[in-house]
Amino acid sequence: MTVLDLLDEIEDIVETAPSVPLTGKIMVDSGELLEIVKDIRLGLPDDVQQAKWVKDEKGRILSEAKTEYEKIIVEAKKQADFLVESHDITIKAQKHADAINDAAMEYSKLLKMKTYDYLDKMLFEMQGRMDEMNLKYFGEMYSNLEKTFENISQVLQGNRDELKDMAFRTQSGEDVSIDETHMTEPDMGKVEE
């Protein structure tokens, strides 16, 4: 029997015991009552120890849970900080890479435009010299030279037109390579006097 059962038994004895008239007291069998008290004393240490063990286990479990909770919180904060930092670094790196790429594209476009301008200037000067030479040597003696100069001038003009087209396409954002040109070299041929 447990201590609680034994206490219930004492309560039953007290309730069912005959009362002593005019005293408000009851008569109980002292042997029976002492036997129950003895059983209570024998059972009490086990119950108290079990209750103490439960209490100690409860404290230990709560302590372990609290320690584990604190570890999880610390790790979660570290992970959150790392993710935030990694995310910020990634965004900054991407923006920086985009800016470098944009600057490189703009610089490449600028270089192409300067190259086109330089080539156009060279072709224009050559065309002017050819026109000067055409005027200088124009005459009866050099009649077939005039045709040659006209052909050269047409080829140079065609090359200039193609160059201007490439410059326009580059200005419009199209990626054009000088390797794609169809410029032809003027055929100087053999000029007879």
Chain-centre distance for alpha carbon 99: 18
105: which 2 tokens?
């594209």
Mean pLDDT for the chain? 80
Q: Where are the domains of the chain?
A: 3-69
Could you tell me the sign of the dihedral formed by the alpha carbons of 4, 9, 15, 21, in that order?
negative
What pLDDT score does 88 carry?
75
Q: pLDDT tens across 23-71, in order?
A: 888 888 888 888 888 887 777 766 666 777 777 778 788 888 888 889 9
Indicate whether this model's pTM tops 0.95: no
> Where does the pLDDT of residue 117 fall: very low under 50, low under 70, confident under 90, or very high at 90 and above?
confident
Of 156, 147, 89, the C-alpha closest to 121 is 156
What pLDDT score does 15 carry?
85
Contact, 116 vs 166, CB < 8 A?
Answer: yes
> Where does the pLDDT of residue 4 fall: very low under 50, low under 70, confident under 90, or very high at 90 and above?
confident
Contact, 38 vs 31, CB < 8 A?
Answer: no
Could you give the CA distance from residue 119 to residue 121 in angstroms, rounded to a whole number?
Answer: 5
Of 186, 180, 158, the C-alpha closest to 112 is 180
Percentage of residues in the chain having pLDDT higher than 90: 0
Could you give the CA distance from residue 13 to residue 23 in angstroms, rounded to a whole number?
Answer: 18
Min mean pLDDT across 9-23, 52-66, 68-82, 112-126 is at 52-66
Contact, 138 vs 186, CB < 8 A?
Answer: no
